[in-house]
């Protein structure tokens, strides 16, 4: 039976992806997480649903001694590397922390993967590596220039570069295959959630949410008094930023498709994939839809644009469709909002 290592598996995307792998494969999973932004509840939910299939190692990725001890003890067939800090705004104020937690820790764990013969490495990157690409009629492709405009995006761009150069460096003597997934905006909750009861479901928990849909739903469920739209004069149809929102379950399934793709390729060492739906919604449009779907009104303030926020990010996702068997099932803003709302009500 294959064993995979998932860093950040107690977080939002890592836990949903772990659920997908538990459900559709027989792999054993070891999660590394320091619970800085992750939740033990996510691990407990997975463990209860799939007993004896996963283990949590509460390790900080900067603890090289503990990490190496784990690699010595256990052979891993693959690493899915989600652990990172990910607030654009925070990264503008704490850039060095982002380079430390995202770039340096990625470098260190990648070196361990090479040393201990891990065969596949799937890296969580982000559309923030593109910065603000201009005049792209067909959306942002994987070949679009990388020009991040905030330290978060830069920390991920540098990580990508280090992973790719690292493979070149060893001329792939180990045979490691690398998949880099550049996610667009992720939202929603597990479509497996049914009759949510205490500790029985998966969705986005947050200690300090910054994602638009999550924040707006926290307002709709009265966890927050108000929210803000940052910037209303962007060169977009209604002046607010446009993003490509993808349902969390479709993102989770993309990881397994890329995993299988990496298994199937013989003459490629790495592949980069955008993961989104290739269509965009503005901030105003998302908030209006949330008010409509939840039938709740809440206060929305108009504020100046935030540093480092690009006007429009829409992915061109032809490559992942062409090369892998990925078939998204929930490509619809209403489904995303409804699943997230149900989850948010449960958290109330
Ligand atoms: N959420 C999005 O919309 C989005 C978009 C693009 C890319 N991403 C990327 O996806 C990945 C996962 O994001 P998420 O939304 O699940 O975030 P999250 O904060 O829910 O999960 C990150 C997890 O990593 C853990 N972690 C962080 N630093 C760690 C460290 N030093 N040692 C051990 N564990 C550590 C946290 O405790 C948490 O469980 C990140 O790499 C992020 O950059 C997310």
- Indicate whether 207 belongs to any domain: no
Distance CA 61, CA 51 (A): 26
Distance CA 144, CA 158 (A): 16
Ranges of beta strands (E only) in 60-116 are: 78-81
- Indicate whether 344 belongs to any domain: no
Distance CA 75, CA 123 (A): 19
- Taking the C-alpha atoms of 8, 11, 17 and 23 in order, what is their torsion angle to the nearest 10 degrees? 110
**Could you list the pLDDT tens digit for every one of the 348 residues in the chain?**
899 999 999 999 999 999 999 999 999 999 999 999 999 999 999 999 999 999 999 999 999 999 999 999 999 999 999 999 999 889 999 999 999 999 999 999 999 999 999 999 999 999 999 998 876 678 899 999 999 999 999 999 999 999 999 988 776 667 899 999 999 999 999 999 987 776 689 999 987 888 999 999 999 999 999 999 999 999 999 999 999 999 999 999 999 999 999 999 987 789 999 999 999 999 999 999 999 999 999 999 999 998 778 889 999 999 999 999 999 999 999 999 999 999 999 998
Contact by Cβ (8 Å): 293, 337: yes
Distance CA 156, CA 205 (A): 23
User: In this structure, what DSSP letter does residue 306 have?
Assistant: P
Residue 214 tokens, joined: 């999550």
> Is 130 considered catalytic here?
no
**CB 43 near ligand 1, within 6 Å:** no
pLDDT of residue 56: 98
- Indicate whether 82 belongs to any domain: yes
Contact by Cβ (8 Å): 33, 60: no
| Domain of residue 130, residue span | 3-184+246-275
Q: What is the DSSP string of 255-276?
A: HHHHHHHHHH-SS-SEEEEEES
**CB 60 near ligand 1, within 6 Å:** yes
Q: Write the CATH number for 258.
A: 3.40.50.720
What is the H or E stretch that residue 222 is in? none
Q: Max Cα separation, the chain?
A: 58
- Indicate whether 300 belongs to any domain: no
Distance CA 53, CA 47 (A): 7
- Length of the chain equals 348
Q: Which residue among 16, 34, 62, 86 is best mutated to probe the pocket of ligand 1, counting the most ligand atoms within 8 A of its Cβ?
A: 86
Residue 270, CA distances (Å) to 180, 203, 261 in order: 8, 30, 11
User: In this structure, what DSSP letter does residue 102 have?
Assistant: I
Over residues 272-323, the pLDDT tens digits come to: 999 999 999 999 999 999 999 999 999 999 999 987 788 899 999 999 999 9
- Indicate whether 55 belongs to any domain: yes
**CB 8 near ligand 1, within 6 Å:** yes
Going from the Cα of 340 to the center of ligand 1, the distance in angstroms, rounded, reads 18
pLDDT of residue 173: 67
pTM assigned to the model: 0.96
Marked catalytic residue, from 12, 152, 245, 277 = 152
pLDDT of residue 309: 82
Distance CA 99, CA 175 (A): 28
Distance CA 320, CA 183 (A): 12
- Indicate whether 217 belongs to any domain: no
Number of independent structural domains in the chain: 1
Ligand 1 atom closest to Cα of residue 38:
39
Distance CA 189, CA 200 (A): 12
**CB 10 near ligand 1, within 6 Å:** yes
- Indicate whether 59 belongs to any domain: yes
Contact by Cβ (8 Å): 130, 140: yes
């Amino acid at each position: 039976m294959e064993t995979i290592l998932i860093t950040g598996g107690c977080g939002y995307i890592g836990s949903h992806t772990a659920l997908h792998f538990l459900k559709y494969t027989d792999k054993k999973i070891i999660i590394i997480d320091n619970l800085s932004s992750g939740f033990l509840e996510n691990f407990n939910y997975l463990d209860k649903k799939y007993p004896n299939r996963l283990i949590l190692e509460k390790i900080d990725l900067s603890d090289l001694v503990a990490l190496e001890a784990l690699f010595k003890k256990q052979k891993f067939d693959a690493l899915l590397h989600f652990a990172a800090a990910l607030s654009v705004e925070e990264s503008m104020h704490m850039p060095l922390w982002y380079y430390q937690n995202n770039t340096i820790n990625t470098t260190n764990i990648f070196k361990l993967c090479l040393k201990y013969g891990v065969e596949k490495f799937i890296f969580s990157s982000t559309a923030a590596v593109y910065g603000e690409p201009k005049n792209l009629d067909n959306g942002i492709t994987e070949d679009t220039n990388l020009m991040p405009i905030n330290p978060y995006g830069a920390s991920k761009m540098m990580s990508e570069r280090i992973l790719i150069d690292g493979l070149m460096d060893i001329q792939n003597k180990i045979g490691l295959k690398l998949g880099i997934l550049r996610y667009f905006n992720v939202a929603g909750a597990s479509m497996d959630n049914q009759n949510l009861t205490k500790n029985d479901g998966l969705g986005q928990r947050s200690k300090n949410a910054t994602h638009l849909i999550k924040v707006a739903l926290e307002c709709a469920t009265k966890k927050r008094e108000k929210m803000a739209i940052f910037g209303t004069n962007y060169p977009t149809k209604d002046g607010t930023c446009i993003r490509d929102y993808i349902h969390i379950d479709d993102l989770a399934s993309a990881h397994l498709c890329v995993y299988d793709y990496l298994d199937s390729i013989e003459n490629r060492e790495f592949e980069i994939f955008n993961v989104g739906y290739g269509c965009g919604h503005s901030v105003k449009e998302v908030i209006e839809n949330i008010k409509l779907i939840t039938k709740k009104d809440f206060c929305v303030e108009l504020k100046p644009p935030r540093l480092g926020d690009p006007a429009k990010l829409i992915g061109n996702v032809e490559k992942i469709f062409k090369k892998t068997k990925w078939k998204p099932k929930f490509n619809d803003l209403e489904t995303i909002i409804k699943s997230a709302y149900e989850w948010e009500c449960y958290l109330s």
